[in-house]
Amino acid sequence: MAATDKTKIAPPSPIVEDDQGQLVAKKGISREVVEEMSKIKGEPDWMLQKRLKSYEIFMRKPIPTWGVDLSGLSFDDLVLYSPPTAGRYDSWDDVPKDMKDTYEALGIPQAEREQLAGVVGIWRQEPVYEGLKEEYRKLGIIFCSMDTAITEYPDLVEPYFMTKCVPPQDNKFSALHGAVWSGGAFLYVPKGVKVDLPLQAYFRMEGAGEGTFEHTLIIADEGSEVNYIEGCTAQTYSVNSMHSAVVEIFVKEGAKARYTTVQNWSKDVYNLNTKRAIVDAHGTVEWVGGSMGAKYVMLYPGSFLLGEGARADHLNVGVASGKVWKDTGAKVLHLAPNTTSNILAKSISMDGGVMGYRGLVRMGHNSQGSKSRVQCDGLMMDPYSRSDTWPDIQIQNPHVTVAHEAVVGKISDEQMFYLKSRGLTEEEAAAMIVNGFIEPVTKELPMEYAVELNRLIQLEMEGSIG
């Protein structure tokens, strides 16, 4: 009787090279994709276990039925991992020409030389460039890609990565992110170090029908100060793509961290992010953001004020035009005495676009002496657009102060008449009014970002007036 061949044949890899030699995962998400992805990236076992746990949670969690319409989003039609084959560089001269040209057009290398302490560049889900000026490296600052951080600084990363701030069980998209995240930035500022120049990460989505899941982890140790800037863009395609990032910020006692982002997505992107900060005693977190483009957006940066005297400031401007639907807002939980929060949300809707503010302010049982102010201002450019506000204010302590104000309006005929009588065209007059409307947010942006945001809004407005 012939012996039975018991040799095991390994199943084919779910991540293979395409005709151009590019690694591409098969469409959809599976345990095999998660395991192979972690293997290709050479990750430690603790990260693989986090990914698999997140995958199990993702499979159990339902898709949200509130907010924007997600019925057209199909995970089975998306490639969730497609890294470039270019490699990782610490010298700008070595970056491939096509990537370098894109970054040069955005002014990033010049900005790094003149106005930034360091830069991390993420291209199609993977880090391609990491740079930190030597004088800041000597201060003990760590600024690198998230992929580098988990292998070179695991003792610093593991206790914070999707544990207390944004756990995978928070929502279906945070669970998906935990399973297939790739790219992103890690920033650690030691005790007492005040960084006088911003640090910037830039994320570029290149492929059609792909998902992008960068992870940002910022730790501002006791008494430190840092300003982190994030830029995101994508090419335009005729098929849906998805961006589901997670941002975790830990502000230790007496520290201050500012997170600034300007996002300009193409209008085929589902932008579904989870961003959150934990703030200890007398710490301050500042969120400053501009949201342009995308197809559907759900984004509610959150601040947990855990220590006495902690503070959170949220400033955001969003624009929805055409078929764009954005459900955005802010969440602040006051969980200690004498905490403070300010939320300023500016929205512009035109050509039938929908902007919604969905916010939460919770004054916990131990929040005596705390104060919160919320201001939502909506500007509608035509009768076809929409602006909604759904504030949720929960007060569990009678010794607090909370104020909420919401205003929705349009450009008045009197304003237009006055400006046109001074020689401005109708489009120029409308642009001037809009720039004044968003000025409370843009004045908090670095100059080049404020100019870029104004330019992007004016591009959106072209053809929408008159």
pLDDT in tens, 203-237: 765 655 678 899 999 999 999 999 998 876 655 44
Q: What is the pLDDT of residue 150?
A: 94
- Look at residue 8 and tell me whether its pLDDT is greater than 50: no
CA–CA separation, 243 vs 214, rounded Å? 8
C-alpha distances in Å from residue 76, one per residue of 34, 240, 294, 324: 14, 12, 20, 23
Of 76-90, 107-121, 149-163, 188-202, the poorest mean pLDDT is in 107-121
With CA atoms as reference, report the closest residue to 205 among 234, 238, 236. Answer: 234
Q: What is the pLDDT of residue 16?
A: 54
Burial classification of residue 415, based on how many CB atoms lie within 10 Å of its CB (0-12 exposed, 13-18 middle, 19 or more buried): middle
DSSP β-bridge partners for residue 345 = 316, 376
**Higher pLDDT among residues 10 and 384, named by residue:** 384
With CA atoms as reference, report the closest residue to 203 among 261, 276, 143, 269. Answer: 261
* Phi and psi, residue 322, nearest 5°: 65, -125
Of 21-25, 125-129, 196-200, 305-309, the poorest mean pLDDT is in 21-25
Mean pLDDT of the chain: 82
With CA atoms as reference, report the closest residue to 334 among 368, 363, 303. Answer: 363
CA–CA separation, 37 vs 203, rounded Å? 20
Q: Residue 117's CB: how many other CB atoms inside 10 A?
A: 22
CA–CA separation, 417 vs 292, rounded Å? 29
Contact 202, 111 (CB under 8 A): no
What's the whole-number mean pLDDT along residues 34-54? Answer: 93
Q: Which residue has the tokens 């100060």?
A: 225
What's the whole-number mean pLDDT along residues 26-38? Answer: 86
pLDDT in tens, 239-250: 568 889 999 999
Of 58-72, 109-123, 294-308, the poorest mean pLDDT is in 109-123
Per-residue three-class SS string for the chain: CCCCCCCCCCCCCCEEECCCCCEEECCCCCHHHHHHHHHHCCCCHHHHHHHHHHHHHHHHCCCCCCCCCCCCCCHHHCECCCCCCCCCECCHHHCCHHHHHHHHHCCHHHHHHHHCCEEEEEECCEEEEEEECHHHHCCCCEEEEHHHHHHHCHHHHCCCCCCCCCCHHHCHHHHHHHHHCCCEEEEEECCCCECCCCEEEEEEECCCCEEECCEEEEEECCCCEEEEEEEEEECCCCCCEEECCEEEEEECCCCEEEEEEEEEECCCEEEECEEEEEECCCCEEEEEEEEEECCEEEECCEEEECCCCCEEEEEEEEEEECCCEEEECCEEEECCCCCEEEEEEEEEEECCCEEEEEEEEEECCCCCCCEEEEEEEEEECCCCCEEEEEEEEEECCCCCEEEEEEEEEECCHHHHHHHHHCCCCHHHHHHHHHHHHHHHHHCCCCHHHHHHHHHHHHHHHCCCCC
Q: Residue 72's CB: how many other CB atoms inside 10 A?
A: 10
Q: What is the pLDDT of residue 459?
A: 67
Query: In terms of residues, how long is the chain?
Result: 466
168 falls in which pLDDT band (50, 70, 90)? very high
- Look at residue 120 and tell me whether its pLDDT is greater than 70: no
pLDDT in tens, 350-380: 889 999 999 999 999 999 999 999 999 998 8
With CA atoms as reference, report the closest residue to 99 among 132, 119, 128, 126. Answer: 128
Contact 232, 263 (CB under 8 A): yes
**Higher pLDDT among residues 452 and 361, named by residue:** 361
Q: What is the pLDDT of residue 319?
A: 87
What's the whole-number mean pLDDT along residues 265-291? Answer: 92
pLDDT in tens, 415-449: 888 888 988 888 788 878 888 888 887 777 766 66
Q: What is the pLDDT of residue 59?
A: 95
426-442 vs 413-421: helix crossing angle, rounded to 10: 110
Q: Which residue has the tokens 């989870």?
A: 274
Residues 6+ apart with CB under 8 A from 232: 202, 203, 204, 205, 243, 261, 262, 263, 264, 265
What's the whole-number mean pLDDT along residues 4-12? Answer: 46
- Look at residue 258 and tell me whether its pLDDT is greater than 90: yes
Q: What is the pLDDT of residue 54?
A: 97
Q: Which residue has the tokens 């300010």?
A: 342
Q: What is the pLDDT of residue 314?
A: 96
- Look at residue 24 and tell me whether its pLDDT is greater than 70: no
Q: Residue 374's CB: how many other CB atoms inside 10 A?
A: 25
- Look at residue 100 and tell me whether its pLDDT is greater than 70: no
Q: What is the pLDDT of residue 269?
A: 86
